[in-house]
Amino acid sequence: MMLWLLVLTLPSLGGSVPVTSDPSPGTELVGIIRGHAAADGAWPWQVGLWVRNQTSSKWHPNCGGSLIHPQWVLTAALCLLSRRNPVTRHFKVQLGRVRRSYNGSVQVARIIRHPKYRLEMGVSGGADVALLKLESSVRPSNLVRWIRLPPASLSFPPGTRCWVTGWGRIAPGALRLWPYQLQEVMVPIVGNRVCNQRYQNSSKNSGQIIKDDMLCAGIEGLDSCQGDSGGPLVCSWEGIWVQVGIVSWGYSCGHRDFPGVYARVMSYISWIRKYVPLCPGS
């Protein structure tokens, strides 16, 4: 059985590539399948990452991300376009808008990719985590607010209903089905062992595909998709929203055998705290 792994697609940056093994650099899952348009302020931590095309000098939407502090954004390492030394002036962040828009975006001042993320391995090696420091702090409002990070020890049992959001494709392989308004969908957590078995069943790899720093969520027809990479997977914990995952990769979108795969935020709390202080009021 041939597996299809979707490539992050931007103008002049390539298209979809079929693969039959583990994800490799440049072939990461990066829309929300069967989701709904999000209301203003529903997910005030959601941000959009914009990148400047070095050839045309035009800005294009790239990935998602989450505001975790007035001056810090959490996203996926793969969103840095496989550049070994990404240039901050080529990245800006959209905040407080449910419709994709470059207007009013904030300049990125610092980029920190997790040191264990390997460009040559891509998402298959794990550590698909990056931090972006904004040029200036943002003020909280009804439309802009940071998401809480969970305790490193927190875990959720399989079946827990969580939410993922993004501006990515709303159907697998649908080149023109990119929403302008932020989409939201509820997805259940899938245990790592079950998730790993599902990916193994359709792969020649009998090893550990779903690493310990990864988390799976989604069922047939309910999933994240291409263009959502870096965006947040959030769950309700003790009456508050916490971010437990970062959209990372997967085979196809909304396929019954392949839940979406996320970077497990709990695995990186101590690393995040090396750079990002506790938020005011936390």
The most confident of 36-45, 231-240, 272-281, by mean pLDDT: 231-240
Decide which of 2.30.40.10, 3.40.1440.60, 2.40.10.10, 2.40.50.140 is the CATH code for 1-282.
2.40.10.10
Q: Does residue 5 have a pLDDT over 80?
A: no
Closest CA to 227 of 24, 16, 3, 18: 16
The answer, yes or no, to whether residue 17 has pLDDT greater than 60, is no
Q: Look up residue 256 and give its two tokens.
A: 């019954």
**What's residue 127's pLDDT?**
95
- What is the pLDDT averaged over residues 212-240? 89
> Percent of the chain, pLDDT > 90?
55
The reported pLDDT for the residue numbered 117 is: 94
For 55-112, the pLDDT digits (tens) are 888 998 889 999 999 999 999 999 997 677 889 999 999 999 999 888 889 999 999 9
Query: How large is the C-alpha radius of gyration of the chain?
Result: 17
Decide if pLDDT at 236 tops 80: yes
Classify 163 in phi/psi space as left (phi over 0), alpha (psi -120 to 50) or beta.
Answer: beta
Asked if 266 and 96 count as a contact pair (C-beta separation under 8 A), the reply is no
Q: Give residue limits of the domains in the chain.
A: 1-282
